[in-house]
Amino acid sequence: MRPAVVVVGTSLGGLHALREILGGLPAGFSIPVVIAQHRVKSGGGDLAGLLQAVCPLRVWEPEDKEPLSPGMVYLAPPDYHLLVEPGSLALSTEAPVNHARPSLDVLFESAADAYGEGVIGVVLTGSNEDGARGARRIQQRGGTVIIQDPSAAVSGIMPAAAQARTGIIRTYSLGQIARLLVELCPGSDPLSPVRGRVG
């Protein structure tokens, strides 16, 4: 099955890591990318702008129920959880998970439920264990999990926790991750959820 969505999660050190990866994606990258980056409630600077500066795709903080489109990078707005639904994105102001809102687990688990094996989950540098459960869910539902090399990360706690939870041994550098994403997501693929509502 071809990938339907790429979900990326990170906290401490994330700006640099995200710039490396987004900067390595081609303008024709056809799978929507959805990012949860731990950040302060007030937004703390123009993260979308800093990512847009290096990324050929459009970087955007989505509104509730916005359709998922190829060629887009969706960034979780500060102080909201971002969830993937079949064909669209949803926001939530529910309590923080792992002290975080947005939480990686919330994003990853919802993506796994919506798209199953069509999900590629990427766990990058970070200083807590958010994302490990979500990575496990992606794995259980047949999706692909890619983990940054903890020893090369600004903070290795987040990728190491994801490794421990998923049992995945192989890890990658940031440059390798960008290339891997391009390899895994060739050509253009219309969004089709693994399941749809009947009727």
> Looking at the annotation, which residues are catalytic?
11, 38, 130
Identify which range of 21-29, 48-56, 73-81, 180-188 contacts another protein by CB under 8 A.
73-81
Give yes or no for residue 7 binding another protein (CB under 8 A): no
Among 57, 114, 135, 177, contact with another protein (rule: CB under 8 A): 114
Residue 117 DSSP one-character state: G
> x/- binding map, residues 128-157, to another protein, per CB under 8 A?
------------xxx---------------
Give yes or no for residue 77 binding another protein (CB under 8 A): yes
Give the whole-angstrom CA distance, residue 157 versus residue 160: 5
Q: In sequence order, what are the beta bridge partners of 34?
A: 7, 74
Nearer residue to another protein within complex by CB, 25 or 59? 59
Give yes or no for residue 69 binding another protein (CB under 8 A): no
Smallest CA-to-CA distance from 98 within 72, 127, 121 is with: 127
Identify which range of 25-33, 56-64, 162-170, 171-179 contacts another protein by CB under 8 A.
56-64
Give yes or no for residue 35 binding another protein (CB under 8 A): no
Task: Pull the structure tokens for residue 176.
Answer: 């390798």
Smallest CA-to-CA distance from 123 within 143, 141, 142 is with: 143
Give the whole-angstrom CA distance, residue 108 versus residue 116: 11
Residues for the chain: how many in total? 199
